[in-house]
Amino acid sequence: MTSILTSRPELKAALDSVAEVAGYLWQKGWAERNGGNLTLNITEYVDEQMRAMPAICAPKAIGVTLPHLKGCYFYCKGTGKRMRDLARDPMCAGSIVRILDDCATYEIIADNPIVPTSEISSHLAIQDYMIECGSGYKATLHTHPIELVALSHSKEFLDSEHLTQVLWSMIPETLAFAPLGIGVVPYALPSSTELVEPTLKQIRRYDVVLWEKHGTVAVGPDMMEAFDQTDVLNKAANIYMTAKNFGFTAEGMTPEAVQEIRDVFKLPNQR
Ligand code: 2HA
Ligand code: ZN
Identify the pLDDT of residue 270. Answer: 84
DSSP 116: B
Task: Say what the pTM is.
Answer: 0.97
Ligand 1 pocket, 34 CB below 6 A? Answer: yes
Tell me the average pLDDT across 126-150. 97
Q: Taking the C-alpha atoms of 153, 155, 156 and 158 in order, what is their torsion angle to the nearest 10 degrees?
A: 80
Q: Alpha-carbon distance 42 to 138, whole Å?
A: 8
Which of 39, 86, 114, 117 maximizes ligand 1 atoms within 8 Å of its Cβ, making it the mutation to test the pocket?
117
Neighbours of 103 (CB within 10 A): 19
Q: Alpha-carbon distance 128 to 104, whole Å?
A: 12
Model confidence band, residue 193 (pLDDT cutoffs 50, 70, 90): confident
H helix count then E strand count, the chain = 10, 9
* Burial environment of residue 101 by CB neighbours within 10 A (0 to 12, 13 to 18, 19 or more): exposed
Tell me the pLDDT of the chain averaged across its residues.
97
Identify the pLDDT of residue 166. Answer: 98
pLDDT at 225 over 80: yes
Cβ(200)–Cβ(126) below 8 Å = yes
Q: Alpha-carbon distance 77 to 218, whole Å?
A: 15
Which of 25, 30, 32, 34 maximizes ligand 1 atoms within 8 Å of its Cβ, making it the mutation to test the pocket?
34
Q: Alpha-carbon distance 172 to 139, whole Å?
A: 25
In the chain, pLDDT over 90 holds for what percent of residues? 94
Identify the pLDDT of residue 242. Answer: 98
Nearest alpha carbon to residue 28 among 146, 190, 166 = 146
pLDDT at 119 over 90: no
Nearest alpha carbon to residue 109 among 45, 59, 62 = 59
Identify the pLDDT of residue 34. Answer: 97
Cβ(138)–Cβ(40) below 8 Å = yes
Identify the pLDDT of residue 64. Answer: 92
Ligand 1 pocket, 90 CB below 6 A? Answer: no
Judge whether 225 counts as a catalytic residue.
Answer: no
Chain segment 165-175, per-residue pLDDT in tens: 999 999 999 99
